[in-house]
Chain A
């Protein structure tokens, strides 16, 4: 791989890209788990009352 010119800024290595991708996936999974947790806890706390709302 040729040396990047200064104009290119920071160029990630393949390993850095792989790690960044893995970190991104971990963050996405954590956020999805948090959404699921909030959903389930809402159902548990409100029970049938979750459907009881003014229309």
Chain B
């Protein structure tokens, strides 16, 4: 990772004229930061739900292997994202401290790290769990790195709408790890995360619009202005709230989930309306952003808890 021949010119996406002939000064912590641990924790959590609620039995070791591969694959995609987006990251306050823009790591190191983990996680998932899950993980990484990062992010304000699919795949990969196929249930989980992503990110983008504008990222508030963004947030939340109750209607979630999804969905809608009518400041946008994280966590946590409870009751009866 650190050996670079003297005089080798490994210019990265930062377009630096510097010739990188220096040994690496990246720490283990920098490599962990490349994996985007906070994003990874959400991926692990939603993938776990996909594994747990899938019908059929999976050996705990195989389930753990699937979860590990999904986590590593997601982290690898994050590393490749940081490699490609180093120029954008350097211009944004929120991301300027990441290993590459901060100068602690060369772009080539992040690229090698991301590619190695991507290929490794896909192969291990495909061989040790099942080929379909491996292929789905490969597609997820491809979608996040190539479709979202390289193509959509810099070219359209719909970047996070379509790109959000990448973050919505993990429960499907988890489900496929157990069943080797896909049915309506994991697709519903996919759609919940898919429609959750725009209001979540646009709420953040509303009060970080300057950052995105400086970096040249065409986020919706930058391109269409805050008024249109507030309207779109409400529209997507109107789709999301009833969709989140669907697992209960379709019978793969219990009444507790139904109540939690309904109440939390109503709060999401109320906050989205507040964002829509807010004229000055971003208090409601901040509230919506914060609550949206809790909302998604609650939905999946209750799904998980209900399934665990059912398993316990099943053993007792």
Q: Which residues of chain B in 127-171 are interfacial with respect to chain A, using CB atoms and an 8 Å cutoff?
A: 128
Q: B54-70 CB contact bits vs A (8 Å, 1 = yes)? A: 00000101100100100
Contact A26 B31 (CB under 8 A): yes
Chain A nearest CB from B56 CB (Å) reads 16
Is A9 interfacial (CB-CB < 8 Å)? yes
Answer whether residue B280 sits at the interface, using C-beta atoms and an 8 A cutoff: no
Kindly list chain B residues whose C-beta atoms are within 8 Å of the C-beta of A44.
59, 61-62
Does chain A have a CB within 8 A of B25? yes
Further contacts, 20 of them, CB under 8 A, given A19-B27, A20-B2, A23-B28: A9-B6, A10-B6, A12-B23, A16-B23, A16-B25, A19-B26, A19-B28, A20-B24, A23-B2, A23-B26, A23-B27, A26-B31, A37-B65, A41-B61, A41-B65, A41-B128, A44-B59, A44-B61, A44-B62, A45-B62
A22 touches B28 (CB 8 A): yes
Could you tell me if B21 and A23 are in contact, using CB atoms closer than 8 angstroms? no
Main DSSP-derived SS at the B contact region? loop
Question: In the bound complex, how far is the Cα of B137 from the Cα of A48, in angstroms?
Answer: 31
Number of A-B contacts defined by CB within 8 Å = 43
User: CB within 8 Å of B: which of A16-48?
Assistant: 16, 19-20, 22-23, 26, 37-38, 40-41, 44-45
Partner-A contacts on B (CB < 8 A):
1-2, 6, 21-28, 31, 59, 61-62, 65, 68, 128
Which applies to chain A's interface (DSSP): helix, strand, loop or mixed? helix
Size of chain A's interface in residues, with CB distance under 8 A?
A: 16
How far does the alpha carbon of A15 sit from the alpha carbon of B25 in the complex, in Å? 8
Q: List, in ascending order, chain B residues with CB within 8 A of A41's CB.
A: 61-62, 65, 128
The reply to whether B65 and A20 form a contact with Cβ atoms under 8 Å apart is no
Contacts of B22 in A (CB 8 A): 10
- For the complex formed, measure the closest distance between the CB of B20 and the CB atoms of chain A, giving whole angstroms: 12
Q: In the assembled complex, how far is the CB of residue B29 from the closest CB belonging to chain A, in whole angstroms?
A: 9
**Shortest Cβ distance from residue B30 to the other chain A in the assembled complex, whole angstroms:** 9
Distance of A7 Cα from B22 Cα, bound (Å): 16
Interchain CA distance A10-B23 in the complex, whole Å: 8
From residue B110, how far is it (CB to closest CB) to chain A in Å? Answer: 14
Chain A residues positioned under 8 Å from B59 (CB to CB): 44
A15 to chain B, nearest CB (A): 7
- Measured in the bound complex, the distance between the Cα atoms of B27 and A45 in whole Å is 37
Complex Cα gap A41–B22 (Å) = 41
A9 to B31, CA, bound (A): 26
Across-interface contacts of B24 in A (CB, < 8 A)? 16, 19-20, 23
**What are 10 sample pairs from A and B whose C-beta atoms fall under 8 A apart?**
A10-B22, A12-B23, A16-B25, A19-B27, A23-B1, A23-B2, A23-B31, A37-B68, A37-B128, A44-B59
Please give, as numbers and ranges, the residues of chain A lying within 8 Å of B128 by CB-CB distance: 37-38, 41, 45
